[in-house]
Structure 1
Amino acid sequence: MTALSPQALDGPVLVVGCGLIGTSVGLALRQHDVDVVLHDSLPGHAEVAASMGAGRLLTDDVLPLLVVVAVPPSASASVVAESLLRWPDALVTDVTSVKSAIQSSVDDGPGADRFAGGHPMAGSERSGPMAASAQLFEGRPWVVTPGATTRPAALDAVVDLALHVGGVPIVMDPAAHDRAVALVSHVPQVMSTLTAARLNDAEGNDLALSGPGLRDTTRIAGSDGAMWLDILGTNARDVRAVLELVRDDLDRVIDALGEDEATLARVLESGRHGTTLIPGKHGSSAARFDLVHVQVADRPGELSRLMTDTGESGVNIEDLRLDHDLGRPVGLAEIAVALGVGPSLVQALTDRGWTAYL
């Protein structure tokens, strides 16, 4: 379970559900020459995934050793149960973002010892097989949630699956997982959606004033609404608990506006500190990096030239973000580098003709 590199993953691995996640699993496994078989209730999805190189289509003679269920949350429990019955020698996992409900369902049926839940903490606001990528899971947590009766072989298979696709396996109890994702994923989705929904009431040229902060805050609001209805309904208890705490915070802010600067200062400082706790590259928080900002002309080859000049300066890029604003002839690249290295990179880029600053 603690291996840092994948062991041999025997196939066939059957991926049931060829949307963004399922097709990405297939593409990533095929890079390791794993035999991947594809199935979807919409045959067209499986055919598209197969045409992209994610695997071959399921036929009646296939006897999978591992089944990866990558269907919408509302269908996951039934498809897992069907898979455990149809392939009695196969180990089964899923990629559902809420684990307690599906684990309870599996515990009530046969084959529970062959099931180990999983949840890759990766995705996109886009959906469908055409949005898939073999690199989707690289460096991302892949939570593995064994049940009380899960056999070691099932747990090891899911851990190895995560390693094969480039993920970082983390073993958690299903209930602990659901509490965690309510905090770090589900409530942020709700907050992003609520913020974006207020834009429907914008007047005149209000939205012309928007910038990267608004885009960052509302990006995930564009995600598939049907999928999120499933997720929020399945994890309602844990999401409600966090939202009630957020409601209390909002009430404090509303009451303090224009009246209690000290309370507002504490709220702002608490939020600032919270951002420093979010893990970044190698588990480091964003506060452990210098952020160098560079103006990049909106013409072909400029971003490539910036990467080359940064590399030639001897500085390793820890992270990169590029923003474009309405009516602005340049983009703004934000380069994260090791703490203390920022000033030297600013000087090196300035010497090469860039407009750069911390």
Structure 2
Amino acid sequence: MIRTTAVVGTGLIGTSVGLALSSRGVDVHLIDIDERTAHVAAALGAGTVSAPARPVDIAVLAVPPHVTSKVLTEQQSRGLARTYTDVAGVTGPAYRAVLSGPHLADYVGGHPMAGGEQPGPLAARRDLFEDRRWVLTPGPATSQSALNRSLELVALCRAVPVVMDSASHDRAIALVSHVPHVVSALMAACLENAPAEALRLVGREVRELTRIAGEDPQLWSQILRANVSTVAEVLGDLATHLDATLGALHDLALDAPEAQERGLAVLEDLLHRGQRGTSAVRGGAVDHGTRSETVSVGIEGRPGELRRLLSVVEEFKRHTTGINVEQCARPSGLRIRIDALPPTAGLLEARLKEEGWNVLAPC
């Protein structure tokens, strides 16, 4: 059982870890080369600014990716903790740092899939990790006790643990996080000198696409450097698709029916693949390896009734995978089918019955 923790690095993530653990009764020691930052974290309630008198149960290294392996080696040499984990986001470099040392069994790589656009302890929240995935990457020599402590740490932060090997994690994160950040930055850079009349037309689509480009450039350059080969590989695949799309657009601009037909086929294929990828992402956001269950609700077509039902479903949206509306045999009758993961489906059904809805009603 985790009773004591050391958090090394008191930025957004480290302070949020300290806040989450302190709220669960864990004694948290805050360590940072910038004492001012550590004292800000302590003032927020993340722990106390002090080195522990004896080894803590687990140390969380929340330092920039390019120094994670160095700090890990230093703290292991000092005997700071029984178990060490980090939040570096790229697990390969840190794991390689302990390959030749005596502390292989004590280390579990980590990557909480949470963050924010603003750095520093003032942006920290104790619920930052709630219901978010937290990847753990134990190595072949990692002890069961070290993995168990790391899993308990994730549970104390109310996150969802995902255990992967280091190489698979770094490949996956390049595809779903690192390259999307580069694409966001590229699109945002195109807007840097955009004319005022274009910027006046910016809507939700552009804001969503460029939002993550506003995060700390220095931190992201370190993240990309730590995972450089895999990011380059994924970007190479993306460049191939961009070249094909550019070729299709050139074909469409030609005054030649065959070229136009060829270009249109390439574009339609791309857009259909994008649509399927979007469906995969939406399903993946709630997929825990189980199939969705359907909750059916019968309603009358009175004004405002559907909106009232959807306001209840909205509370469970994180774990729902789809909503469909069917016309019943009765002219005014509708059946709403809500697909959700099994735990959420049961909770949603109970809530709807409690609210008086006609659950599992036939059409």
Partner in structure 2 of residue 56 of structure 1: 48
Once residues 234 and 321 of structure 2 are traced to their aligned partners in structure 1, the CA distance between those partners, rounded to angstroms, is 33
One of 17, 21, 26 as aligned partner of 2:9: 17
Q: Is the 8 A contact 2:30 2:51 kept in 1?
A: no
SS at 2:234 equivalent: helix
SS at 1:148 equivalent: coil
SS at 1:65 equivalent: strand
Deviation at 1:341, TM superposition (A): 6.0
SS at 1:149 equivalent: coil
Once residues 201 and 138 of structure 1 are traced to their aligned partners in structure 2, the CA distance between those partners, rounded to angstroms, is 39
Residue 280 (str. 1) matches residue 272 (str. 2):
no
Inter-CA distance 248–43: structure 2 relative to 1 (3 Å threshold): same
Once residues 311 and 15 of structure 1 are traced to their aligned partners in structure 2, the CA distance between those partners, rounded to angstroms, is 44
Residues 83-103 of structure 1: CA deviation (Å, up to 9, x unaligned)? 111116521111111111111
Partner in structure 2 of residue 317 of structure 1: 315
Q: Is the 8 A contact 1:318 1:338 kept in 2?
A: no
Which stretch has the larger CA shift, 80-89 or 110-119?
Answer: 80-89
Query: Which runs of structure 2 are paired with 1:198-347 in the superposition (5 Å)?
Result: 198-257=190-249, 258=252, 259=260, 260-278=263-281, 279-281=284-286, 283=288, 310=308, 314-319=312-317, 339-340=323-324
One of 58, 61, 69 as aligned partner of 1:69: 61
Give, as a single letter, the amino acid of the residue that structure 1 aligns with 2:73.
A
Give, as a single letter, the amino acid of the residue that structure 1 aligns with 2:285.
G
Partner in structure 2 of residue 4 of structure 1: none
Deviation at 1:344, TM superposition (A): 7.7
SS at 1:36 equivalent: strand
Q: Is the 8 A contact 1:64 1:87 kept in 2?
A: no
Q: Is the 8 A contact 1:91 1:114 kept in 2?
A: yes
Q: Give TM-score scaled by structure 1 length.
A: 0.79
Equivalent residue pairs, number:
303
One of 133, 157, 161 as aligned partner of 1:165: 157
Once residues 31 and 273 of structure 1 are traced to their aligned partners in structure 2, the CA distance between those partners, rounded to angstroms, is 42
State, as a whole percentage, how many aligned pairs show the same letter: 40
Once residues 279 and 74 of structure 2 are traced to their aligned partners in structure 1, the CA distance between those partners, rounded to angstroms, is 44
Deviation at 1:280, TM superposition (A): 2.8
Once residues 135 and 127 of structure 1 are traced to their aligned partners in structure 2, the CA distance between those partners, rounded to angstroms, is 16
Once residues 149 and 40 of structure 2 are traced to their aligned partners in structure 1, the CA distance between those partners, rounded to angstroms, is 27
Once residues 90 and 337 of structure 1 are traced to their aligned partners in structure 2, the CA distance between those partners, rounded to angstroms, is 41
Residue 134 (str. 1) matches residue 143 (str. 2):
no
Inter-CA distance 75–319: structure 2 relative to 1 (3 Å threshold): same
SS at 1:317 equivalent: helix
Residues 203-239 of structure 1: CA deviation (Å, up to 9, x unaligned)? 2311101100000000000010010110111100000
Deviation at 1:282, TM superposition (A): 5.7
SS at 1:67 equivalent: strand
Residues 109-155 of structure 1: CA deviation (Å, up to 9, x unaligned)? 22111111111111111110011111111111111111121111111
Partner in structure 1 of residue 72 of structure 2: 80
Partner in structure 1 of residue 355 of structure 2: none
Larger Rg, first or second structure (1 or 2): 2
Structure 1 runs of 4+ with >4 Å offset:
282-285, 309-314, 341-345
SS at 2:114 equivalent: coil
Give, as a single letter, the amino acid of the residue that structure 1 aligns with 2:274.
G
Inter-CA distance 84–281: structure 2 relative to 1 (3 Å threshold): same
